[in-house]
Structures are given as structure tokens and as C-alpha cells.
Amino acid sequence: MTASKQQPRLVTAQQFYTFAEPPDQMLLESGARLGPVTIAYETYGQMSADRDNVILITHAFSGDSHVAGYLADDKEDAKPGWWDSLVGPGKGIDTDSYFVICSNILGSCMGSTGPASINPATDKPYGLDFPMVTIGDMVAAQKALMDHLQINSLLAVIGGSVGGMQVLEWCIRYPDMVRSAVPLATTMRHSALAIAFNEVARQSIMADPNWNKGDYYGKEGPDLGLAIARMIGHVTYLSDEAMRRKFGRRLQDKRDFSFGFDADFQVESYLRYQGSKFVRRFDANALLYITKAADYFDLVDNLTTRESIRDLSGATIKFLVISYTSDWLYPTYQARELVQALKRSSQDVSFCEINADCGHDAFLLPDERLTNLISGFLKGVFNG
């Protein structure tokens, strides 16, 4: 038996685009102005001569621009991008055919301007002087990047969770620019339950004495509060079945209870590990801002711009809406509400609910069904 041919290592590099230099600062939905603004991004594949093969991938709240492959300066044992199972040569989003862009969202801490960035007015990190941003502001910053790259049309915008919110916002704001859209595991607006979990996460950070009203840069940060916030969030990303299968009530390296507050159970140890790992890579203030932006997002009754899904009437965007059976953060009924709203706006909509017991995070896991769905959909749009 001959060994299968191994795909070459996909290598990329993070790039940066800075715009909105004072006095031409970016006007945010809140009415505040921000500038300069830097957006970190990565690209994969080659843009066609007609610039008709561009796909924008939008990431979830704690994600980044590194969606696939390896950064040029990565070590051999480095982990690939967060959606490497789906994006790359010969994969569902085939970089041999499409030019893929993924940018880090405004307000984050992975290369784009956010609360940890330096405020030019003070030469210190913004902290809570950073203005509140919305999903709409994030998309407006991505549009500025597209203008910089001289991209006038997007074959598809694809993203899950908070990334799915960005997909929908792109369709509302720039419908003439988007040929197709794939929102996965997302919603038109947060439920009270989702807002409640985000608020508990925010309060865990703000209750940490080291948070110091957002002014902790250069000092000991609110690591405990941020770790707890991540633990809370991580529970919402899983499902009861996934946690039962992965952990059950198994003890962690013990045969009996400690009769104290050690991590007796494997699930306790796992959550503590996830919290401590998150602290090493993410900024606490960024979590506050991004979760608030997600809570403000509303395409049913937007209180800021008055934009809604109804504004898509007259647009010609092909949609593929995907949900997961075990996603209790953004349940399938919310995806069905989105599908119904899109159909009322006379959109071309396909819908698939994938049977998976992994919870909300299922869209990030390798899945041949998802690969085939997206691959077939994109081929139909590109060749249609």
C-alpha cells in the first residue's frame, strides 16, 4: 500500500492595515470617534484576475485572524489555525480555488485595535477609555480593510457564533457586495439566557480587585476573574451529553473525595485548566467589550441603527444557515427564526441542522458533513 500524498504545509503571515488617522477618525455607532484603527488580518490562496473568488471568514468572540495553516515563524510543533480542518488546499473552503481573508475584530487583543492598545492621546493603554464598539463597528472596520485591498465583491462571508453575527451584519450593511453568506451556530439577537451568562462573566472580571476599573496594564491583572469568566463561557460551549461522555462523575487522579475544595472531579480540573490557559492569551477588558457588543447585536429591533433583517428585501444573496442539535447557547429554533425572516425578505435560503452532541462548539470541530455542505454550496455560488 502506498502512503497517501501529504499536503504541503500551509504557511501564512499576519498583516496589518491602519486607517482612520486623526482628524479622520472612525465614527462608531455610539457616536464616539476612534482612530487610528489597526486591523490584523491573514490571507490564503490567490485572488483571481477578476477578483471574484474572495471569501471573508469572520471569527468567534475570542478568536483571531489565524484561521488556518501555520504562521511563517511558527515552530514545527505549533498548532494550526482554529479552522484548519475546513480551510486550506483541497479542503471545504479550498484555498486552491478561493482567496480567503480573515481579520481580527475591532475591540479584540489579537493584533487589532482594542482596549489594550495604546491611546495616542495619553501614550498609555486605553483601558475603559476605549469606546464601546458594536458588531456593526467591527464590520465597518472589515469593510475599510476590503476597500484597502480593492475588493468590491465577496463570493461569500462565512462565520460561526459571534462570527455569524458579523456575517449577518455584512448582509444588512453591504448587500450589493455579498454574493453568499454562511452563518453557523448563531442568532439574530441574544436571548436573555445568553445575556445573563455574559453578564456573569463580566461581573467575575470586574469583581476581581486587580481589575482596578480597567486600569491594570503593567500591573498584576485580573487573572482570577478572567479565568472564571472563561470557565463560565466554556460551559455554554459544551452540551450535557458531551460533558457526560468526556467527564461523567470521574474523579481527577483520586480514589476518594478530598472533603475540601480541591478539584475532585475531572470536569472541575478541566474548567480550571481552560481558565488558566485563557488568561495567558486574552485580555480581560477585551472580553468585556466583545461580550457587550454581542449582547447589543439585534437584527430584529435594532435600537441604534434601526437596521433589521427586513432591510434585505431586494437583495440577491444566497444563504446557507447551519445549526446544531445540541447547541443550547444558540438553539436551532433561533436559526429557524432567521430562516423564516430571510424567506420573508425573499432571500434564497438553504438550511441544515446538523445532528451533533458536542454543543455550541461543534462548528469548530472537524466534521465531514460540514465540509461537504460548505464545499458544495460554494461551488454552486462560484459556478452559478
Grid cell listed for 239 = 452540551
Is residue 327 flagged as an active site residue? yes
Distance of CA 35 to the CA centre of its chain: 23
Please give the Cα distance from 154 to 146 (Å, whole number).
9
Cα–Cα distance for residue pair 62/283, rounded to 1 Å: 10
Which one is catalytic: 65, 97, 103, 161? 161
C-alpha cell of residue 335: 436559526
> What secondary structure does DSSP assign to 132-174, as a single string?
P--HHHHHHHHHHHHHHTT---BSEEEEETHHHHHHHHHHHH-
137, 204, 360, 367: which is the annotated catalytic residue?
A: 360
Is-catalytic flag, 161? Answer: yes
Contact 201, 232 (CB under 8 A): yes
Strands 26-27 and 33-34, by their bridges, are antiparallel
Question: Of residues 327, 345, 361, 367, which has the active-site annotation?
Answer: 327
Q: How many CB atoms lie within 10 A of CB 268?
A: 16
Neighbours of 251 (CB within 10 A): 16
Beta bridge partners of 349: 319
Question: Could you tell me if 164 and 184 are in contact, meaning their C-beta atoms sit under 8 angstroms apart?
Answer: yes
Q: Quote the CA–CA distance of 113 and 106 in Å, as a whole number.
A: 6
Look up residue 379 and give its DSSP letter: H
- Catalytically annotated residues: 161, 327, 360
